[in-house]
Chain A
Amino acid sequence: MSRYQRLTREAWRSGDYGGAELRGPERDAGAEDPESLRSFVRSRMEWIVEREACSIAREGSSGQGGNAMKLAQHVKFREEKFGGVLFETKSERVFTLSPTGAAVVHELLQGAGDADLVERLKTRYDDPKGTLEKEASDFIASLRQNGLVTE
């Protein structure tokens, strides 16, 4: 076990992530300067905390709204006056989007999931017939079918 592993294990046990000095027989193991080791461990801990915080934020944004989607690898989106275009750059296929189609893609890119997409769209569009949810769902299915979005 390396000194770094011992220090992290100690930190895990003690709850002291400040990089307290090792106690007992572990104190003398290795020849590294204790202060620099503490500093090293602290930086690693900060990095882990930052990474975990990002993961939680990501899970939170998709978890609340359902499955998050993104554009497939070679697909580019651009908003246009008539709505928007999706351009599949490998095959050079172009998909023209209606204004609401572009709004759906825009919301997907903003992190909207299946569940909260409709709510977001309702803030922009009236839904007098109550068909928006089904239409959005059908539209997303067609995007999936054409390989334009991935989970």
Chain B
Amino acid sequence: MIRRAWYAAGFSGELETGKLQGQVIAGRPIVLWRARSGEVVALDARCAHKRFPLWDGKLLDGDVLECAYHGFAYGTDGRCVAIPALHEQSDRIPATARQYKYPLVERDGVVWLWPGEPELADESRIPPTPEIASDEWETINTEPMPVAANARLLVENLFDLTHFYPLHADNIGSLADARVPVEIERGEGRLKTIRRRSSFTLPPMTRARFGLDVADQVQEHAMVAPGLFHVVVSVAPPGRLGTDEEQTFVLYQTITPVDDGHLVWRRSTSCRVGTRWAADPSRSLVEAIVAGAPKVIEQDRWAIERQQEMFAFADEGYREVHVKTDGAVVMARKLLDELEEAEGSAAPPQVRMQPARRTADVAS
């Protein structure tokens, strides 16, 4: 599991003042809350005293977090400020009674947390998400969605545009989608796919979204960090991309690993303010896109959770076949393997880059 990464602990609106939240991020149990100062605080959720989960505690006046078991109380810096069982005052509180405070940055509408070694938490590596907090964009954030699958399976799903048929054939996909040429860009820790379509017959759902039967379309999917996918889709009548007839939406998808078999998926969709839905101009385009998304998301969740279930069985000679159009998926696996190897951790063997099935394996 990759821990040397910034992961979304939530969109800003998810962290309410004075309300405790418990999360597990990359195997770390964490208690979070927004202090009255506005700062989001993230502490190790295991009470330093007897490991009791602090997310079951309560906040006292002054942003002090009290453990529900013995009443050890911690300030926003993680330092213990009260131990009810002690008979004297604060000089009796041991200096070791302190909760680890996680590096956390709230930027562009996202609360980012670093579960790795604190000395490596480089804020310059936080990926920008400018549309989410911009007044020029209308944005809708989804609720966090728990998924019972390894985070890598979602990364692969998002890079794998050839599954639109048949998985999404009843909404955004078609057989033609699986055949659109792909350009893959590979940079330092980043991977991006670009698909350009000219005079493309839109599938039913996107036809309603954009009010076009035939269009030119550019679709970019980029993994800008292990925990963030950036998708940009631009659509226009044939020959009109780059003009004021172009309609664009931006989608940020955060992938926060919980453990080796679970993740939390969040989506933030943005369109330029004032962009209307072609089928019903009383509604904004972003509203229409988000309203149509749940079925697609459910189908993706269904697929990767079913895949995850199959990892319960020993490989015993089983190997995946990587076809030519799996290029981006194969490259993503390798990139994530390298990040894990660099920090001395490892994914469960099944979701690492394995030798693919070879012609020799099936030659007989």
Asked if A and B bind, the verdict is: no
